[in-house]
């Protein structure tokens, strides 16, 4: 496939997390340039250069989205923007353009599909248990899908990642007396208050109260635990209390790590609104119930499916061959750069770790020895500083005594002179 123009475009109604979007475009900027000679520029926000028609103004688009209320509500626009805004954007997309979008929203997909524009939707995969993050990519083009599929991870490769993590977790947990503590329990997986995955068809954030009956049917009489999102804050406390009222009994907080729940020996069931952990759970053979459809559903089939996301290894995503196949009709330059796979490559670049870091670091003998070594060196430094401080204090006390003696001698001398 070749295109006259390649442009970055995403949800311009939401300003929060925009640096994460530009980060993803920065990761593919160079491989696309070396493959096709095209500069993808940036998404049209904050006055950045972009590859829509030059007359396009993000502020004008946002005004049209806000409508007569004058208030821009990204959640209300999540599934559909006003017709005037959609038309304004569509008119400013050049012909024969490929749109690259990070976390494409339903409204944007609708605009592009109606305009007949090819697109690639990029996301960090919800399958975050592997040695590095996968990029999830979907498209509306059957031709692009076929080319993407040739670079995608197979379910068998992902199962091997499951195997390795499961072996690691069970080996560690089987030494613990509480290994089977939660056996037979149901764990509710919380999310943040304004997670885009919670926006329902009415443009508002779904809450567990919307699914009370389904929650009760899922839990039945089994023990229920609540696992809060690390950034849940006061919202998590509120949701926890609400579920307790629904269930009619106190619910214990679950502080066990995500991958101990998924990969351990204790047979737990998981339930939640739409957390990606629920999708991960199925790979570990766990029963998981989601109240809502996921926004990113992994797929592996060879036949075109515009609703699922192929799983692209991070190093492949950032290498030239993938993009040469997608935007340069498969022609590769001599010396095309292929980034080798490396553990935590994308995690480190994105500084996005989720449950991986605690599993990898907290229980590692290697990191404990690192802390013991450096901690021991720090303790030695502190001990040396304390010793120097004690020496200085003794010197100061000695000087004080000598000064007092000198003052006493001067006073005696003064009295003797007065007597004469």
The CA–CA distances, whole Å, from 149 to 124, 138, 279, 308, 411 equal 17, 10, 21, 12, 97
Domain-terminating residue out of 331, 353, 375 = 353
pLDDT tens per residue across all 420 residues of the chain: 799 999 999 999 999 999 999 999 999 999 999 999 999 999 999 999 999 999 999 999 999 999 988 899 999 999 999 999 999 999 999 999 999 999 999 999 999 999 999 999 999 999 999 999 999 999 999 999 999 999 999 999 999 999 999 999 999 999 999 999 999 999 999 999 999 999 999 999 999 999 999 999 999 999 999 999 999 999 999 999 999 999 999 999 999 999 999 999 999 999 999 999 999 999 999 999 999 999 999 999 999 999 999 999 999 999 999 999 999 988 888 999 999 999 999 999 999 999 998 888 877 888 878 777 776 666 667 777 888 888 888 888 888 888 888 888 787 777 777 776
Q: Are residues 269 and 178 in the same domain?
A: yes
Residues sharing a CB contact under 8 Å with residue 82, sequence separation 6 or more, in sequence order: 64, 65, 67
Q: How far apart are CA 266 and CA 182, in angstroms?
A: 6
Q: State the CATH number of the domain containing residue 266.
A: 3.40.50
Domain-terminating residue out of 269, 290, 311 = 290
Question: Which residues, listed in sequence order, are joined to residue 2 by a DSSP beta bridge?
Answer: 328
Domains in the chain, number: 3
Q: Are residues 63 and 115 in the same domain?
A: yes
Residue 144 near residue 161 (C-beta atoms within 8 A):
no
Q: Are residues 12 and 101 in the same domain?
A: yes
**Residue 358 domain-assigned?**
no
Of 71, 72, 119, 64, nearest in space to 88 by CA: 64
**Domain that residue 235 falls in:** 161-290
**Residue 169 domain-assigned?**
yes
Of 151, 106, 144, 149, nearest in space to 10 by CA: 106
Domain-terminating residue out of 290, 315, 340 = 290
Look up tokens 């001599």; give the residue. Answer: 334
pLDDT of residue 143: 97
pLDDT of residue 382: 74
Instruction: Using DSSP bridges, classify how beta strands 224-227 and 288-290 pair: parallel, antiparallel or unpaired.
Output: unpaired
pLDDT of residue 26: 98
Q: Are residues 328 and 415 in the same domain?
A: no
Q: Are residues 281 and 306 in the same domain?
A: no
Question: Which residues, listed in sequence order, are joined to residue 38 by a DSSP beta bridge?
Answer: none
Q: pTM to 2 decimals?
A: 0.87
Q: Are residues 225 and 242 in the same domain?
A: yes
Residue 118 near residue 9 (C-beta atoms within 8 A):
no
Q: Are residues 240 and 281 in the same domain?
A: yes
Look up tokens 């899908």; give the residue. Answer: 145
Task: Report residue 133 as tokens.
Answer: 């993050």
Query: Which residues of 74-216 form beta strands (DSSP E)?
Result: 97-102, 118-124, 134-139, 186-189
């Amino acid at each position: 496939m070749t295109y006259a123009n390649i442009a970055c475009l995403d949800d311009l109604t939401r300003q929060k997390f925009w640096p994460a979007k530009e980060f993803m475009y920065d990761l593919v900027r160079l491989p696309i340039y070396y493959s096709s000679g095209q500069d993808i520029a940036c998404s049209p926000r904050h006055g950045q250069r972009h590859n829509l028609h030059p007359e396009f103004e993000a502020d004008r688009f946002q005004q049209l989205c806000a409508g007569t209320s004058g208030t821009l509500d990204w959640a209300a626009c999540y599934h559909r923007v006003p017709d005037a805004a959609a038309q304004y954007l569509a008119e400013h997309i050049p012909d024969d353009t490929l749109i690259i979008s990070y976390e494409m929203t339903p409204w944007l997909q609708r605009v592009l599909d109606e305009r007949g524009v090819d697109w690639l939707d990029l996301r960090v995969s919800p399958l975050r248990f592997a040695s590095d993050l996968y990029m999830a990519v979907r498209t509306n083009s059957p031709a692009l899908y076929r080319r993407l599929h040739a670079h995608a991870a197979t379910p068998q490769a992902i199962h091997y990642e499951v195997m390795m993590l499961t072996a690691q977790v069970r080996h560690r947990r089987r030494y613990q007396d509480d290994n089977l503590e939660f056996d037979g329990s149901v764990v509710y997986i919380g999310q943040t208050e304004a997670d885009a995955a919670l926006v329902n068809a009415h443009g508002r954030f779904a809450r567990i109260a919307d699914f009370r009956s389904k929650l009760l049917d899922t839990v039945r009489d089994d023990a229920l635990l609540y696992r809060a999102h690390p950034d849940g804050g006061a919202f998590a406390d509120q949701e926890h209390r609400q579920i307790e009222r629904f269930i009619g009994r106190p619910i214990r907080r679950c502080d066990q790590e995500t991958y101990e729940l998924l990969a351990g020996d204790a047979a737990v069931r998981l339930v939640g609104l739409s957390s990606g952990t629920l999708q991960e759970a199925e790979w570990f053979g766990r029963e998981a119930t989601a109240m809502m459809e996921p926004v990113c559903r992994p797929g592996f089939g060879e036949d075109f499916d515009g609703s699922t996301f192929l799983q692209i290894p991070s190093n492949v995503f950032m290498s030239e061959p993938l993009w040469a196949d997608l935007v340069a009709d498969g022609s590769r330059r001599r010396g095309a750069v292929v980034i080798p796979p490396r553990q935590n490559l994308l995690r480190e670049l994105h500084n996005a770790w989720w449950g991986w870091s605690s599993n990898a670091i907290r229980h590692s003998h290697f990191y404990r020895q690192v802390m013991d070594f450096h901690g021991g060196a720090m303790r030695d430094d502190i001990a040396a500083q304390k010793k120097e401080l004690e020496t200085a204090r003794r010197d100061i006390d000695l000087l004080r005594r000598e000064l007092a003696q000198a003052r006493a001698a001067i006073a005696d001398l003064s009295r003797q002179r007065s007597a004469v």
